[in-house]
């Protein structure tokens, strides 16, 4: 694990995955996988963009990274790549509504995985699994079948985290259906990760 200053530790300790009581640094084997990514200003800038109306893009990316890691580790898959791809899978630094209006690139759900990939590969070396997880995390919205089991997992984790994040918004606004959807996603994530 890289050495961190007390200030760094304090900043990073602010991060917890959704529904988790653990600080990231409480699980050093996970933190080791992503600490260099968290040091980059581009990843930090994700904290400046709203995501799913209830959280930031950095928090969402951490949620996906953390649960993707835990599930892939449980299944004896490439957990390190799962953690790294999770943190990079939505690496786009713009407000999505503004971007669509200005550039006319069509529906954001289809286009953003490739944008995230091009941004990520300029900053970090990516292996084949990480590339596939980033480019195909929106399947079946995007047409290409995932090539790796880790990619099948991240596309589920991404959707369950989105549900969980929306449930937080629903809890604040009193929408019962969305709260139930969030409770379902919470239950599933907890069941999947309880024994780690």
For residue 165, state whether it binds Fe ion (rule: CB under 5 A).
no
Q: In terms of CB distance, is 1 or 135 closer to Fe ion?
A: 135
The whole-angstrom separation of Cα 71 and Cα 164 is 17
From 71-79, 83-91, 172-180, 184-192, span contacting Fe ion (CB under 5 A): 83-91
| 90 lines the binding site for Fe ion (CB under 5 A) | yes
CA distances to 53, 100, 110 from 106, rounded to whole Å, are: 20, 7, 8
DSSP per-residue string spanning 95-140: -HHHHHHHH----HHHHHHHHHHHHHHHHS---HHHHHHHHTTTTT
Q: Which is nearer to Fe ion, 130 or 158 (CB)?
A: 158
* Phi-psi map region of 4: left, alpha, beta (phi>0 left; psi -120 to 50 alpha): beta
Site string for Fe ion, 133-162 (x = CB under 5 A): -------------------------x----
Q: Applying CB under 5 A, what is the total number of residues that bind Fe ion?
A: 2
Cβ 98 to Fe ion shortest distance, Å: 17
- Of the candidate spans 37-45, 65-73, 88-96, 125-133, the one that interacts with Fe ion by CB under 5 A turns out to be 88-96
Of 150 and 158, the one with the shorter C-beta distance to Fe ion is 158
Distance CA 160, CA 22 (A): 19
| Residue 74 C-beta: closest distance to Fe ion, Å | 21
Query: What's the closest the beta carbon of residue 60 comes to Fe ion, in angstroms?
Result: 6
Residues 25, 13: contact at Cβ < 8 Å?
yes
**Nearer of residues 29 and 105 to Fe ion, judged by Cβ:** 105
Three-state SS at 50: strand
Give the footprint of Fe ion on this chain (CB under 5 A). Answer: 90, 158
């Amino acid at each position: 694990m890289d050495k961190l200053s007390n200030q760094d530790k304090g900043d990073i300790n602010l991060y917890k995955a959704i529904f988790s009581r653990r600080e990231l640094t409480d699980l050093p084997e996970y933190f080791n996988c992503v600490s260099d990514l968290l040091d980059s200003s581009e990843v930090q800038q994700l904290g400046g963009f709203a995501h799913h109306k209830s959280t930031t893009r950095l928090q969402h990316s951490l949620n996906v990274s953390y649960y993707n890691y835990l599930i892939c580790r449980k299944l004896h898959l490439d957990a390190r790549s799962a953690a790294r791809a999770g943190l990079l899978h939505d690496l786009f630094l713009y407000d999505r509504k503004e971007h669509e209006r200005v550039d006319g690139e069509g529906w954001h759900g289809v286009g953003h995985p490739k944008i995230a990939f091009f941004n990520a590969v300029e900053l970090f070396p990516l292996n084949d699994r990480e590339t596939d997880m980033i480019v195909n995390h929106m399947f079946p919205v995007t047409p290409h079948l995932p090539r790796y089991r880790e990619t099948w997992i991240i596309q589920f984790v991404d959707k369950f985290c989105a549900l969980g994040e929306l449930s937080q918004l629903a809890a604040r606004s009193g929408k019962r259906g969305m709260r139930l959807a969030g409770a379902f996603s919470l239950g599933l994530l907890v069941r999947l990760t309880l024994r780690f």
